Structure 1
Amino acid sequence: MGARARPGPHDDGAASSRPPRRSLAALLVLALLALGACDREVDLEPPRPDDVAVGRDDSGAQRVLDRFVGALAQGDEDAVLATAAPDARSLLGAVATNAQALRLDKLSLRYVDDVAVTGAERDRWGRAAWAATVELRFGLRGLDQRAARVDTRVLLVPAGGEVRIAGFGGAGADRTPLWLTGPTTVVRTPRTLVEVAGDTAGRYPGLVTRAVTQVRRTLPGWDGPLVVEVPRDQAALEAAVSAPEGEYDAIAAVTTTVDGSTRRGAPVRVYVNPGVFGDLRPQGAQVVMSHEAAHVATGASFTSVPTWLLEGFADAVALRDAGVPVQTAAAQVLERIRSDGLPDGLPSREDLDPRASDLGATYEEAWLACRFVADEFGQAALVRLYDAVSAGTPVRRAFVDQLGVTQAEFVSRWRADLASLAGVAR
């Protein structure tokens, strides 16, 4: 019965007459557990961590998810509410309304695995509450070519002998679409859609309509679709796009795919950061919205265009004939040039990272590069340059093919233009 210990320096290799201390302790615990179980005739379970649900029911979870999806697809709000936990009826009622307004299509929810429940969720929903990661597929009828696929989080509770839905998102969720978070206002046209958290769409529909018109002045072949989402705050934005906390502190809006995919045809959205965007005056807000619409129009989410060209081109589209003097639109970078001197070259990817310092000035610098292309070589040449690079032509070759100059020659002439605008010696 004794365990054999590994021979040590003074061990002759014979079997020990007693087990090692840790083995003896384990045997004593097992013996005591066995006696307790036999005497009381109870089943013993290993202890559970605090964040593991005691009410977990995988098959019940999938059943309620299927019922929820079916009810949304049929537009049956009563059936949606029948899947809700007692205190979650208001939320699921809002989700049902959102789904109808958005005209959700290709909808499915597939249970993947259970995930941790927070202490706050336990306090509100009870110890039997549990959470699951689910694969969510959905699209917008008439606007999305194919469904997005995201992993999100669903909070579940047992109620009335079955599993009910208590909420969506929260700690551990990969992405939480806006339509699952609460009441939203949806304004839709044949080729645009605006979804805003809360009970009013505010100024956003007008901004979107004008953005489409502005982009079509440079890219007349584009007619949408353009879908814009405005979460209630930056935290909800970060949850929608799976961004680290604080990454978009200085960003008014971002264009990306719903599921993070770079495959062409994936649904694309403009996500607005309401805290930053809300501080913009009307003209600035319009420039930002037109800038993001230009990203959508050029398929920026699916290309590897250098960041200076990607962002500078979008600003060139947004600011074209917008009536903003260059000394105003480029005030930050011109002041930087006056204090720090001319840039040595075009802005790098790192210079234009959302967390980079002096980001506003660097965006203006990228715009001035594209503005110089349009001024010196023509608006059509700027579009050709962008299209060539987007199609895979190396930037240095595209300069020669589309503009007839080398990149070094372009940078030299552009720096001279910057010096003139800033009123400094080259």
Structure 2
Amino acid sequence: MAPALLTGCGTSAPASDAAVRSIQRTLDARAAAVLAGDERGYLAAVAPGAERLRAEESRRFRGLARVPFGSWEYRLGAVDRRGDRAVAGAELRYRVSGYDKGPVTAARTLELVREGDRWYVTADRVAEGGAEQLWEQGEVTVVRGKRSLILGVGQEPARLEALAVTADRSVPAVTAAWPSRWAGRVVILVPSTLEDMGALLGAPASGYRGIAAVTTGETGGSGESPADRVIVNPAAYGVLGEFGKEVVLTHETTHVATRAHTSPATPMWLSEGYADWVAYRATDRTAPQTAPELRREVRRGALPAELPSDGDFAFGGTPQELARAYEGGWLACELIAEEWGERRLAEFYRVVGAGEHRGAAVEKAMSDILSTTPRAFTTRWRTYLAHRLGG
């Protein structure tokens, strides 16, 4: 939908090179002010007389002031100009110092006005289909763990500190299981409510009700890929006991560690199953304790015919269906670890992720690493389920 400032008579057109350069200078000065902690410089980009926006931007600046940014920049996209007004798409790119190898990227829509020879911001909002940033939801409290950085809004510091302690235990647990090099640290965001969690994900909050945490990031990550974030659902995470919290954060931290080797070729039974396998690896939980929903199905004679599909992991299904998908993936990875060894399991994960096409990648990895076929493995997995859960 076109912004109101572009309605009316006349035509809009791409901005001239001079206008684009001037707008970019305004945004560059704003970015420098963020890194310098200079609120006055940050607000200097706001159009004169735009008092409501100035108050909003002042709150936003205070929200992000404690976050240890290592970089912050705007990359302009298309700029549509009508006289002294313009609407621009921009990509905000930032890194948290000491944690991010690649930048987090956020799509923004900016409205601007020209006063004299300068362009000023009159609106700065999430682009359509984009996601909010944590500091847009309030002032960010920062807690530094030994291996974690916790950023929270509307949370008691003691709660964030306890989360950091749990996260600090999850990192070495993942490193002990995953043999490939990774950053060895994690950034965790804790919004105030489930609705705010949905806003951070750019998705309806209802889809995450009952989900304790999710990990965001780009699969097949390289040094320039968007950085991973673990986003905690404060309601669902808060009702867990200490064991449950540790399992959740170890699971999500595994996703951070394996991100560079996860690709569209990686089936969810493997990515989610491996994360659960790492989370439960050093615990004394039995298979019936860890896979109660799948055990019920097995004991009533409803042994699944196939490994869980990606669709089985959709948040829109019933909690029981979702639990069975995770449990099935976990037991598939446990089977590989027991029969072929933990290092073969990690190697299988990497080789699948290096493939281009799902079916061919899984088939090749099963042949090369496990000396089996998908059909034979599925048969073996079904037998394993019956053995582990049928008693």
Question: Which TM-score band (shorter chain)?
Answer: 0.7 to 0.9
Alignment of 1:340-379 (within 5 A): 341-357=302-318, 358-379=321-342
- The aligned amino acid for 1:196 is G
Alignment match, 1:286: 246
- The aligned amino acid for 2:140 is T
How far, CA to CA, are the matches of 1:68 and 1:93 in structure 2? Answer: 15
Alignment match, 1:119: none
Structure 2 residue 366 is the aligned partner of structure 1 residue 396: no
How far, CA to CA, are the matches of 1:210 and 1:335 in structure 2? Answer: 32
Alignment match, 1:31: none
How far, CA to CA, are the matches of 2:60 and 2:145 in structure 1? Answer: 21
Q: Choose between structure 1 and 2 for higher RCO, CA contacts under 8 A separated by at least 6 residues.
A: 2
- The aligned amino acid for 2:166 is L
Judge conservation of contact 1:216–1:223 (CA < 8 Å) in 2.
no
- The aligned amino acid for 1:264 is S
Q: What is the DSSP-based 3-state SS (H/G/I as helix, E as strand, rest coil) of the residue aligned with 2:216?
A: strand
Q: Evaluate the alpha carbon distance shift between residue 347 and residue 162 of structure 1 in structure 2; reply closer, same or farther with a 3 A threshold.
A: closer
Alignment of 1:186-265 (within 5 A): 186-188=142-144, 192-199=148-155, 200=157, 201-220=160-179, 221-244=181-204, 246-257=206-217, 264-265=222-223
Judge conservation of contact 1:176–1:240 (CA < 8 Å) in 2.
yes
Structure of greater Rg: 1
How far, CA to CA, are the matches of 2:253 and 2:98 in structure 1? Answer: 18
Judge conservation of contact 2:348–2:365 (CA < 8 Å) in 1.
yes
Q: 1:309 aligns with which of 266, 270, 273?
A: 270
Pairwise CA RMSD of aligned residues? 3.7
How much has 1:336 moved relative to structure 2? 2.5
- The aligned amino acid for 2:164 is P
Judge conservation of contact 1:62–1:111 (CA < 8 Å) in 2.
no
Q: 2:36 aligns with which of 60, 74, 79?
A: 74
How much has 1:316 moved relative to structure 2? 0.5
How much has 1:163 moved relative to structure 2? 4.9
How much has 1:314 moved relative to structure 2? 0.8
Judge conservation of contact 2:28–2:73 (CA < 8 Å) in 1.
no
Q: 2:140 aligns with which of 179, 184, 187?
A: 184
Alignment match, 2:380: 413
- The aligned amino acid for 1:420 is H
Q: What is the DSSP-based 3-state SS (H/G/I as helix, E as strand, rest coil) of the residue aligned with 1:254?
A: strand
Alignment match, 1:52: 4
How far, CA to CA, are the matches of 1:261 and 1:139 in structure 2? Answer: 18
How much has 1:294 moved relative to structure 2? 0.7
Judge conservation of contact 1:399–1:407 (CA < 8 Å) in 2.
yes
Structure 2 residue 296 is the aligned partner of structure 1 residue 335: yes
Q: Evaluate the alpha carbon distance shift between residue 397 and residue 135 of structure 1 in structure 2; reply closer, same or farther with a 3 A threshold.
A: closer
How much has 1:137 moved relative to structure 2? 1.8
- The aligned amino acid for 1:329 is T
How far, CA to CA, are the matches of 1:179 and 1:228 in structure 2? Answer: 14
Q: Evaluate the alpha carbon distance shift between residue 400 and residue 110 of structure 1 in structure 2; reply closer, same or farther with a 3 A threshold.
A: closer
Q: Evaluate the alpha carbon distance shift between residue 283 and residue 95 of structure 1 in structure 2; reply closer, same or farther with a 3 A threshold.
A: farther
Judge conservation of contact 1:103–1:141 (CA < 8 Å) in 2.
yes
How far, CA to CA, are the matches of 1:66 and 1:173 in structure 2? Answer: 25
How far, CA to CA, are the matches of 2:110 and 2:137 in structure 1? Answer: 11
Judge conservation of contact 2:72–2:92 (CA < 8 Å) in 1.
no
Q: 1:98 aligns with which of 53, 61, 64?
A: 64
Alignment match, 1:152: 108
How far, CA to CA, are the matches of 1:301 and 1:91 in structure 2? Answer: 39
Q: Evaluate the alpha carbon distance shift between residue 72 and residue 223 of structure 1 in structure 2; reply closer, same or farther with a 3 A threshold.
A: closer
Q: Evaluate the alpha carbon distance shift between residue 173 and residue 158 of structure 1 in structure 2; reply closer, same or farther with a 3 A threshold.
A: farther
After superposition, the C-alpha distances for 1:227-272 in whole angstroms (9 at most, x for unaligned) are: 2222222333333233345333343222222xx5765231222222
After superposition, the C-alpha distances for 1:297-341 in whole angstroms (9 at most, x for unaligned) are: 112685121111111111101111123232211111111223461
Could you tell me which runs of 5 or more consecutive residues in structure 1 were left unpaired when the two chains were aligned.
1-48, 115-129
Alignment match, 1:108: 74
Q: Evaluate the alpha carbon distance shift between residue 167 and residue 185 of structure 1 in structure 2; reply closer, same or farther with a 3 A threshold.
A: farther
How far, CA to CA, are the matches of 2:100 and 2:23 in structure 1? Answer: 28
How far, CA to CA, are the matches of 2:349 and 2:244 in structure 1? Answer: 24
How far, CA to CA, are the matches of 1:414 and 1:152 in structure 2? Answer: 47
Could you tell me which runs of 5 or more consecutive residues in structure 2 were left unpaired when the two chains were aligned.
9-14, 81-85
How far, CA to CA, are the matches of 1:219 and 1:299 in structure 2? Answer: 12
Provide the aligned length of Structure 1 versus Structure 2: 359
How far, CA to CA, are the matches of 1:55 and 1:190 in structure 2? Answer: 53
Q: TM-score, normalised by structure 2?
A: 0.77
Judge conservation of contact 1:73–1:107 (CA < 8 Å) in 2.
no
- The aligned amino acid for 1:253 is A
Q: What is the DSSP-based 3-state SS (H/G/I as helix, E as strand, rest coil) of the residue aligned with 1:246?
A: helix
How far, CA to CA, are the matches of 1:273 and 1:97 in structure 2? Answer: 20
How far, CA to CA, are the matches of 1:109 and 1:381 in structure 2? Answer: 43
Larger deviation: 175-184 or 328-337? 175-184
- The aligned amino acid for 1:218 is A
How far, CA to CA, are the matches of 2:366 and 2:220 in structure 1? Answer: 26
Q: 2:93 aligns with which of 107, 126, 137?
A: 137
